[in-house]
Amino acid sequence: MSPLQTMIREHHAGAPVGLYSVCCSNEQVLLASMSVALEYGGAMLVEATSNQVDQFGGYTGMTPADYIAYVRDLADGAGFPRDRLILGGDHLGPNTWQHLPPGLAMANACDLIAAYVLAGFHKIHIDCSMACAGDPVPLPDDIVASRSADLAQVAEDAAARAGLPPPVYVIGTEVPIPGGEASLADGLQVTRPEAAAATLEAHTRAFASRGLHAAWERVIALVVQPGVDFDHSTVHHYAPADAAELSAFIGRHPGLVYEAHSTDYQTERALHALVRDHFAILKVGPAATNALREASFALAAIEDALVPVERRSHLADVLERSMLEQPRHWQKHYRGTPDELRMLRRYALSDRSRYYWGEPAVARALDRMHANLAGMDLPLPLVSQHLPEQLAAVLDGTLPARATDLVRHKIGLVLARYARACHANTAGAARPAGVAQTAEQAPAAEAVC
């Protein structure tokens, strides 16, 4: 049995457990994730998205096999056991090829799914919810389910040919767009239980029609909208009462939980409540990379105070210039005056800047900043001014006042909230070094779990 199926069995037996999924390819985020996972125990789920990693390289330049090797190398270097590392593929389907007719888009999606499974990805989120060229909008459940079953067949065949353990699957039709960032101006509608039931029924029929009975037993989660999302400057927080009927529905399906996307920036209390209410797989991405950006900007401000102007990295300016020169990752998403666009490029919660850390000029500036600060304990007044959350751990002696340690600690604070929510029995007992329990955290563990 997959460790994910074991977690779901424990969850339905009453244990307040879940699993958070780190959807990211950034080295610092992944290393911080491994540190948090080592602290709290359990498995670590890392996922690559279909636009990030595909058979052609995606925007990271990595194929599925490249990504697996990359994450495993990081794990080996960090002393993270490979047997606790679970790799998943997110939004796998025709997402990247929506501009093509369905036949061509699905042919590419088949190759994508096969590449992920053959590389060793275990958790496969099949997402055929998007319309391709000439498709009706929105797609009916039956079409989504039929295409999803076609991709599941490809995955099953690929695993069998290679002698690999068969994957587990996540399905759903009410799927947020990859990366979140939906506009919240018109509000947010929680998925109705009838819609969830219709999705399950359509997929059951589609899998059965292809003889995929064994694969259907490995469908572990359904993606729905629990009433959480974020956009560039707003967060829609979880309201348990609004999702009570949806929660009760999945409670009657002991082999399934919900997968909640776009949980970034939820309070820790909300994360505990989501896990309790069977939204037991929590996806996080931009909140972690935004913490990386915040920490990097803070270090750049410290650099400005310590380093002569001619030697500085000018990181924020280099990032801004790169985003202006190559606007494809933000131009369709941000709207406003020139001043508003500048603010969004730098500070939006949707963090479109995460696509630019690998650009050569930005990478050089980041390396230069860290080189300028390397080998020195940063002055406490500057840490207090620019990274106050890290100051307590520095004063406790549990966190070195070194640039890289400060960055990973800041990212770790975000991910530790997820770890506590998914391992409620350890809430308050295990925390990243130097992290004190906040007033929010303590009652969350007691009242919710």
Output the CA torsion 389→392→395→396 (10° steps). -130
Q: Are residues 196 and 328 in the same domain?
A: no
pLDDT of amino acid 173: 78
Q: How confident is the model at residue 174 (pLDDT cuts 50, 70, 90)?
A: confident
Domain span at residue 229 reads: 3-284
Which CA distances in Å does 138 have to 130, 132, 181, 185, 193? 8, 10, 19, 21, 19
pLDDT of 226 above 50: yes
Contact 314, 372 (CB under 8 A): no
pLDDT of amino acid 303: 98
3-state SS, residue 257: strand
Angle at 230 between CA 42 and CA 144, to 5 degrees: 80
pLDDT of 428 above 90: no
Q: Is residue 388 part of a domain?
A: yes
pLDDT > 70 in the chain, percent: 92
pLDDT of amino acid 256: 98
Query: How far apart are alpha carbons 107 and 249 in whole angstroms?
Result: 35
How confident is the model over 409-421, as a mean pLDDT?
98
Q: Is residue 439 part of a domain?
A: no
Stated pTM of the model: 0.92
Q: Is residue 242 part of a domain?
A: yes
Angle at 386 between CA 313 and CA 302, to 5 degrees: 30
Query: How far apart are alpha carbons 432 and 426 in whole angstroms?
Result: 12
pLDDT of amino acid 446: 29
Final residue before a domain boundary, out of 284, 303, 320: 284
Total tally of structural domains belonging to the chain? 2
Residues recorded for the chain? 449
How confident is the model over 182-199, as a mean pLDDT?
83
pLDDT of amino acid 118: 98
CATH number at 215 reads: 3.20.20.70
How confident is the model over 60-81, as a mean pLDDT?
98
pLDDT of amino acid 424: 72
The sign of the torsion formed by the CA atoms of 393, 397, 402, 404 equals negative
Q: Are residues 213 and 327 in the same domain?
A: no
Q: Are residues 21 and 159 in the same domain?
A: yes
Q: Which amino acid is at 410?
A: K
Which CA distances in Å does 360 have to 28, 318, 366? 17, 10, 10
Final residue before a domain boundary, out of 262, 284, 306: 284
Q: Is residue 438 part of a domain?
A: no
Q: DSSP string spanning 377-427?
A: PPPHHHHHHH-HHHHHHHHHTSS-S-HHHHHHHHHHHHHHHHHHHHBGGGT
Q: Are residues 251 and 298 in the same domain?
A: no
Q: How confident is the model at residue 438 (pLDDT cuts 50, 70, 90)?
A: very low
Query: How far apart are alpha carbons 180 and 292 in whole angstroms?
Result: 18
pLDDT of 402 above 60: yes
Instruction: Give me the phi and psi of 275, to 5 degrees please.
Output: -65, -45
Q: Is residue 382 part of a domain?
A: yes
How confident is the model over 196-224, as a mean pLDDT?
98
pLDDT of amino acid 443: 35
Contact 421, 18 (CB under 8 A): yes
Q: How confident is the model at residue 177 (pLDDT cuts 50, 70, 90)?
A: low
Q: Are residues 59 and 185 in the same domain?
A: yes
Query: How far apart are alpha carbons 346 and 397 in whole angstroms?
Result: 32
Q: Are residues 353 and 272 in the same domain?
A: no
pLDDT of 398 above 70: yes
Q: Are residues 238 and 368 in the same domain?
A: no
Task: Give 330-363 pLDDT, tens digit per residue.
Answer: 999 999 999 999 999 999 999 999 999 999 999 9
pLDDT of amino acid 178: 57
pLDDT of amino acid 436: 37
pLDDT of 70 above 60: yes
Least confident of 165-179, 202-216, 222-236: 165-179
Q: DSSP string spanning 76-110?
A: HHHT--GGGEEEEEEEESSGGGTTS-HHHHHHHHH
pLDDT of 201 above 80: yes
Q: Are residues 99 and 180 in the same domain?
A: yes
For the chain, give the mean pLDDT. Answer: 92
Least confident of 104-118, 300-314, 412-426: 412-426
Q: Are residues 133 and 277 in the same domain?
A: yes
How confident is the model over 278-300, as a mean pLDDT?
98
Q: Which residues of 240-269 are buried (b: 16+ CB within 10 A; e: fewer)?
A: eeebeebbebbeeeeebbbbbbbbbbbebb
pLDDT of 440 above 80: no
3-state SS, residue 351: coil
CATH number at 388 reads: 1.10.400.20
Q: Is residue 355 part of a domain?
A: yes
> Which residue bears the tokens 């009462």?
241
Final residue before a domain boundary, out of 284, 314, 341: 284
Q: Is residue 131 part of a domain?
A: yes
Q: Is residue 295 part of a domain?
A: yes
Q: Are residues 99 and 209 in the same domain?
A: yes
How confident is the model over 418-441, as a mean pLDDT?
56
Q: Are residues 205 and 340 in the same domain?
A: no
Q: Are residues 93 and 218 in the same domain?
A: yes
